[in-house]
């Protein structure tokens, strides 16, 4: 067969398809889900409401009811929010709306992998600023040095960071927001486990975006729901690139019911935090392992050597 290559994109040649490494398991921890699932009373309410859905209709284009519930809880309005299929889709929308070939996207190293993947797909340049090796702190001056380059457009900051699990100093992030001239995206995927947030700053800064997900604390990772908060001007730009009817009706319903009953989920979140602390303490009793403090539902472990790394990996599979 003659191979015609002219329609392939050059910038995707080195990009490998995302592989979540689905393998048989007894205990699954690698995706940072809430393993306790939804309480029976919430499931019953979902099933009761699901009977009345009009499955022959397209979904609410802007997830109106869910948007009203979530934005109100955050002290904002419906014109401050976009609902997406998980925060992944919202990251994609942000890059489509505010970056393009020749522009630069900035984040830390290490950080969430999808920032880089969507940047490559868009044709954007991509820069990562290493964290401090001693305590994973943010070097805001290095971030600003990169941000002030003419082509820089977006800065992604995971708060708390993945995979290190720590919060960066608030004043450092504020400095980046105020001085970078870029759109600053604060990714609060693990907000419910640490409760620190930049939501109160949305009304103060016109270049601030916050994204959150229902996949970590709210036990509905399979339904892919997330939300983005910002000022109305930013929201309008994102809606220009948003797919119509992007979040299906059932996912919208489940997210509504779960969010309205989020107090019931506090017990499982509390239990995850307790188990996180218990396990980190136990691991730190096993030299040379070092489990770092975390404000998420996971933690980072240093195992001391490449040989130990291989040993731990193979024994966990």
Question: Given this model, what pLDDT does residue 317 score?
Answer: 78
Question: Given this model, what pLDDT does residue 1 score?
Answer: 61
Buried b (16+ CB within 10 A) or exposed e, 141-165: eebbebbeeeebbbbbbbbbbbbbb
Question: Given this model, what pLDDT does residue 316 score?
Answer: 84
Question: Given this model, what pLDDT does residue 20 score?
Answer: 80
In three-state secondary structure terms, 184 is strand
Cis peptide bond prior to 110, omega within 30° of 0: yes
Pairwise CA distance, residues 237 & 38, whole Å: 35
Tokens of 77: 């309005």
Question: Given this model, what pLDDT does residue 23 score?
Answer: 81
Query: Are the CB atoms for 95 and 122 separated by under 8 Å?
Result: yes
Query: Are the CB atoms for 101 and 156 separated by under 8 Å?
Result: no
Tokens of 156: 């992604």
Neighbours of 295 (CB within 10 A): 19
Residue 21, sorted as left (phi over 0), alpha (psi -120 to 50) or beta, turns out to be left
Pairwise CA distance, residues 290 & 77, whole Å: 44
Instruction: Give all domains of the chain, ordered by start, each with its CATH number.
Output: 40-263 (3.40.640.10)
pLDDT averaged over 10-residue windows placed end to end, the chain, 317 residues: 79 88 85 94 97 97 97 97 98 98 97 97 97 96 97 98 98 99 98 97 98 97 98 98 97 98 95 97 96 97 94 87
65: closest CA among 259, 218, 261, 228? 259
Tokens 């539902």 locate to 297
- Stated pTM of the model: 0.95
Cα 19 from chain centroid (whole Å): 18
């Amino acid at each position: 067969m003659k191979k015609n290559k002219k329609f392939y994109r050059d910038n995707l040649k080195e990009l490998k398809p995302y592989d979540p490494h689905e393998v048989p398991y007894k205990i699954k921890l690698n995706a940072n889900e809430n393993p306790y699932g939804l309480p029976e009373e919430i499931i019953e309410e979902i099933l009761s409401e699901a009977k009345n859905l009009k499955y022959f209709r397209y979904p609410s284009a802007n997830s109106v009811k869910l948007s009203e519930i979530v934005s109100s809880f955050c002290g904002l309005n419906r014109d401050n929010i976009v609902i997406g299929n998980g925060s992944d889709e919202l990251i994609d929308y942000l890059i489509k709306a505010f970056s393009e070939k020749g522009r630069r996207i900035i984040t830390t190293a290490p950080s969430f992998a999808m920032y880089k993947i969507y940047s490559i797909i868009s044709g954007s340049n991509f820069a990562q600023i290493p964290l401090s090796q001693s305590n994973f702190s943010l070097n805001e001056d290095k971030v600003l040095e990169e941000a002030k380059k003419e082509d820089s457009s977006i800065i992604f900051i995971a708060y708390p960071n993945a995979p290190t699990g720590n919060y960066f100093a608030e004043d450092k992030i504020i400095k980046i927001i105020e001085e970078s001239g870029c759109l600053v995206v604060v990714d609060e995927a693990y907000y419910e486990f640490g409760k620190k947030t930049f939501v109160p700053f949305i009304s103060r800064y016109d270049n601030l975006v916050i994204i959150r997900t229902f996949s970590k604390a709210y036990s509905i990772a399979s339904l892919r729901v997330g939300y983005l908060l910002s000022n109305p001007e930013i929201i309008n730009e994102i809606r220009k690139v948003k797919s119509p009817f992007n979040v299906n009706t059932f996912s919208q319903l489940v997210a509504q019911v779960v969010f309205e009953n989020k107090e019931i989920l506090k017990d499982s979140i509390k239990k995850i935090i307790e188990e996180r602390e218990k396990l980190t303490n136990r691991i730190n009793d096993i030299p040379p392992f070092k489990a770092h403090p975390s404000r998420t539902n996971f933690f980072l472990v240093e195992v001391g050597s490449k040989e130990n790394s291989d040993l731990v990996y193979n024994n966990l599979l």
